[in-house]
Structure formats: C-alpha cells, structure tokens
C-alpha cells in the first residue's frame, strides 16, 4: 500500500473509534475500555478481549459537570461525558488506573454515573520499584483479572499472557522505530499523531502490521531536514487545530514525551519465568513520566537529552489545564532547557478548546526566536 493510503487508513481509525468498537463487536469480540494512563492491556488482550483506549476525544462537556467541579482536567470530564451519554455502549467493562487524584475520582464517579458498564479499579503503588511495590502491583493485577473474569466470563492463563507480552513488546519496538523514522522523513504533525492515536483503537498485532508497512514505505522516501525540529511533551498532543498550527509554521516533531504517545512504548515486559511477575516488573521499570513517582525528577534530564539527541531547537510543553502532576514539572523543565540553550514554550491545552489563536502566535514567536 502507498504511503498516502496507509496514512489515510491511520487517520480514519484515529478519528472514528466508535466504528472500530462496532467492528470488533460485530466479530463477536468483547471490548474492555482502558482509561489513561497505564492500564495493563496485556492482561486484557491475553484473555481474548479487545482493549480499547477511551481518551483523546474533544467535545463540550455537559453531563459530567454534575459530577465534577469546573477545576478538574478535561480529559476526565470527557471520558465521563462519553460514558454518561452512552458512547461506549457495548463495552463489557472499563479499567481505570489510580495514578493521579483526578483518576481516583473518575472511578468513583463512574460507578454512579454509568452503572451499566462495570468499573474495574487498577490501583498502582506509589513506590513501584522495591520488591514490596512489585508484589503490590502483581496483587492488583490479580484483582483486575478476577474482575475481568466476572464482567466478561473470559478466562486467564499465564501462557496466554506470555504470548500477549510478546505481542506488546513487538508493538513497542515498532512504535519506537516509527518515531525515529518520522523524525527524519516527511510526515506532518497531524499524520504522526494519527499513527500514535490509532493504536488505542486497534488490536496491537493489527496496528503493528500496519505501522511496519508505513515504516518500510517511509524509508524509501528522501530525508526531510528542512523544518524547525522540536520535542513535544505533555499528556495529550492530539488536537487537530493545534497540530495544524505546527504544520503551518513548519515545526517538525522529532521526538515526544507525550503520555498518549511515546511514554507508552519506552519499556518492554522483561523476559521472566512467570508472565504476571514479568508484567508487574515492567511497571516497576517504567520511568520519566509525571505519573510515576520520582523524587529526583529524572524526566527533566530525559527531555533535554531527547532534544539534543534529535537535534531539536527546543521543547514545547502542551500543558493540560488543571493537571497537577504536569504543572509541578514545568519549572524544572524550563530551567533545564535554559541551561542547555534550548528554546521552550508552554501552551495550555484542554479537550474543550476550539480556538488556538493565542497558541498560534506563541508558536510563531517560538519559531522566529534566534
């Protein structure tokens, strides 16, 4: 398939998750919704269920306002709004991790607001690296397995999980390769995002096959070195209106530290005898994310290193409005960029935002900075 056809396919999937949900339901499959940011998809996949992401929609929130105050991140509000208004009809359950205070409240609100879709909590430990943290993660995975069995009737096996761990590791590797190839070849910010976003609405083995084809086709094209190279960081970077401004100003995303994009693919499940132990160890091994406790804030150095490695002129932080974890990290990122001689920009984003004119002016000024 030609590049344009492949990119059109990624765009179609990224922009029509309901169509994907209906496709899997028509195939007789059961679908489990996965809330941000880290859900143990490997477990869901191994039980013959389809894990499907539920974040990244842009819309006006009405019903969810009955459950939330105005000063909470719009990602949560939109997930609840979609649930309350029946957009996830047909889904067998939703798994909601507890990685920030807003996510904790999403699970509690979900139970009352969307009673027909069972809520399965995934409680992660704050201290994920010591042996007791890994043991706790494993125990919580066992609880998720038990709740999934009750909600769907599907069964769990360690052998099936070992296979799913391999499927996810292969997908991780392909997404990492895609990010590198996209850094040096012609692809717009919006098209790059379509490739990442579509992964949330497809079985990973299907997505892997499609991304592999795209990588092969992209490698045949000449290198694209004419643009202003930037690293993007944040929770989401998927607003079409905002990405258009990147493209209009000739900004090329050469690496990202975005929770919905590359943060998902940095860490593989290690090779261990017990597949559930291995999955718990994967969570312990993860780093460089605002939602993963790290008193040394190594993420800041990681972002600067990515910018240097990819020859970027600077870092653009897309700050989700009312996201406490991300807000805490911004000042250290700004200072580290200044110390490293990198440009930096902070743009506030929100799933209910339609007008990015102010962001457009800021991006244009960022581009023209000497």
The footprint of ligand SF4 (CB under 6 A) covers 36, 73, 75-76, 100, 102-103, 235, 291, 320, 323, 325-326
What is the nearest approach in angstroms of ligand SF4 to the Cβ of residue 238? 13
Report the alpha-carbon distance of residue 14 to residue 175 in Å, rounded. Answer: 15
The residue (of 56 and 174) whose beta carbon lies closer to ligand SF4 is 56
The residue (of 184 and 329) whose beta carbon lies closer to ligand SF4 is 329
The residue (of 100 and 144) whose beta carbon lies closer to ligand SF4 is 100
Do 13 and 198 form a contact (C-beta atoms < 8 A)?
yes
What is the nearest approach in angstroms of ligand SF4 to the Cβ of residue 61? 13
Report the alpha-carbon distance of residue 193 to residue 74 in Å, rounded. Answer: 19
The residue (of 89 and 111) whose beta carbon lies closer to ligand SF4 is 111
The residue (of 217 and 350) whose beta carbon lies closer to ligand SF4 is 350
Classified as helix, coil or strand, 198 is helix
The residue (of 235 and 278) whose beta carbon lies closer to ligand SF4 is 235
**Which residues on adjacent β-strands are paired with residue 185?**
223
Residue 163 burial (C-beta neighbours within 10 Å; 0-12, 13-18, 19+):
middle
Residues sharing a CB contact under 8 Å with residue 82, sequence separation 6 or more, in sequence order: 54, 57, 59, 88
Do 228 and 367 form a contact (C-beta atoms < 8 A)?
yes
The residue (of 103 and 269) whose beta carbon lies closer to ligand SF4 is 103
Residue with tokens 């780093």: 287
What is the nearest approach in angstroms of ligand SF4 to the Cβ of residue 76? 5
DSSP label at residue 52: E
Nearest in space to 180 (alpha carbons), one of 93, 296, 310: 310
What is the nearest approach in angstroms of ligand SF4 to the Cβ of residue 112? 19
Count of CB atoms situated within 10 Å of the CB of 243:
22
What is the nearest approach in angstroms of ligand SF4 to the Cβ of residue 252? 25
What is the nearest approach in angstroms of ligand SF4 to the Cβ of residue 55? 8
Ranges of beta strands (E only) in the chain are 31-34, 50-53, 93-97, 119-122, 228-234, 251-258, 314-320, 343-349
What is the nearest approach in angstroms of ligand SF4 to the Cβ of residue 235? 4
Do 152 and 93 form a contact (C-beta atoms < 8 A)?
yes
Q: Give me the count of residues in the chain.
A: 370
What is the nearest approach in angstroms of ligand SF4 to the Cβ of residue 83? 15
The residue (of 197 and 367) whose beta carbon lies closer to ligand SF4 is 197
């Amino acid at each position: 398939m030609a590049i344009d056809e492949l990119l059109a396919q990624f765009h179609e999937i990224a922009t029509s998750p309901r169509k994907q949900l209906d496709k899997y339901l028509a195939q007789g499959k059961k679908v489990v919704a996965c809330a941000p940011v880290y859900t143990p998809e490997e477990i869901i996949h191994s039980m013959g269920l389809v894990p499907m992401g539920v974040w990244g929609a842009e819309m006006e929130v009405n019903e969810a306002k009955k459950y939330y105050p105005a000063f909470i991140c719009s990602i949560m509000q939109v997930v609840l709004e979609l649930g309350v208004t029946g957009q996830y009809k047909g889904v067998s359950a939703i798994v909601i991790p507890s990685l920030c205070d807003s996510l904790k409240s999403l699970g509690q609100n979900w139970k009352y607001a969307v009673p027909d879709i069972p809520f399965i909590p995934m409680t992660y430990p704050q201290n994920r690296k010591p042996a007791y943290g890994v043991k706790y993660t494993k125990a919580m995975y066992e609880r998720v397995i038990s709740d999934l069995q009750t909600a769907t009737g599907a069964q769990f096996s360690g052998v099936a999980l070992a296979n799913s761990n391999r499927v996810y590791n292969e997908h991780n590797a392909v997404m990492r390769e895609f990010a590198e190839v996209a850094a040096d070849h012609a692809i717009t910010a919006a098209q790059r995002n379509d490739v990442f976003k579509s992964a949330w609405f497809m079985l990973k083995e299907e997505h892997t096959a499609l991304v592999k084809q795209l990588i092969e086709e992209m490698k045949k094209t000449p290198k694209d070195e004419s643009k202003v190279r930037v690293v993007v960081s944040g929770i989401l970077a998927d607003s079409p209106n905002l990405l258009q401004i990147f493209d209009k100003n000739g900004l090329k995303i050469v690496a990202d530290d975005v929770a919905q994009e590359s943060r998902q693919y940095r860490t593989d499940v290690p090779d261990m005898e017990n597949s559930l132990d291995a999955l718990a160890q994967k969570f312990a091994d993860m780093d460089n994310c605002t939602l993963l406790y790290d008193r040394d804030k190594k993420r800041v150095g990681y972002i600067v290193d990515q910018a240097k490695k990819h020859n970027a002129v600077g870092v653009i932080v897309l700050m989700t409005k009312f996201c406490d974890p991300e807000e805490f990290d911004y000042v250290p990122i700004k200072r580290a960029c200044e110390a490293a001689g990198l440009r930096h920009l902070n743009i506030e984003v929100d799933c209910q935002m339609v007008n990015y004119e102010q962001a457009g002016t800021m991006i244009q000024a960022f581009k023209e900075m000497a």
